[in-house]
Homo-oligomer: A and B are copies of this chain.
Amino acid sequence: MTNPRSPLGHHLLADFHGVAPELINHPGNIARYLEEAARCIQVTVLGCHVHHFGEGGGVTGVLLLAESHMSIHTWPELGFAAVDVFTCTPQPPHEAIRYLEQVFKPGRLVVQQSLRGVEQG
């Protein structure tokens, strides 16, 4: 149970600042963006759940993936969207973030990367 092994997954946390509010306030669009981001990294979508908090109140959504998950939470009033992409694939899922960067055109993008399931050395 404790044999050393490669990390089991890559987890990217991406903060999109300075996004035009109209880009992150429509649940149908957000679902489409997430599904397109999933296509960019060639993962399998098991389910999509997007919730709208009402006009101007933002959107929260999750894609359940065979390879883990992708999520987004938006604050249109602040021009902010928080995304995370976790995949148990050999390569980190940067292409998903790059696609969303093209869509959201943020003034500032901050990405943190974590390895998941790393065994003790």
Q: How many residues on chain A are close to B (CB under 8 Å)?
A: 43
Contact partner, A86, options B84, B88, B118, Cβ 8 Å: B84
| Residue contact A118 to B15, C-beta cutoff 8 Å | yes
- Report how many copies the assembly holds: 2
A46 and chain B: residue at smallest CB distance: B51
Whether A49 sits at the interface, judged by CB under 8 Å, is yes
Whether A26 sits at the interface, judged by CB under 8 Å, is no
Q: Known contacts A8-B78, A8-B82, A75-B8; is A18 also within 8 Å of B1 by CB?
A: yes
Residues of B within 8 A of A75 (CB): 8, 117
A119 to B106, CA, bound (A): 13
Chain A 35-76: CB-based contact to B (< 8 A → 1; otherwise 0): 000000000001101010100000011101110110101010
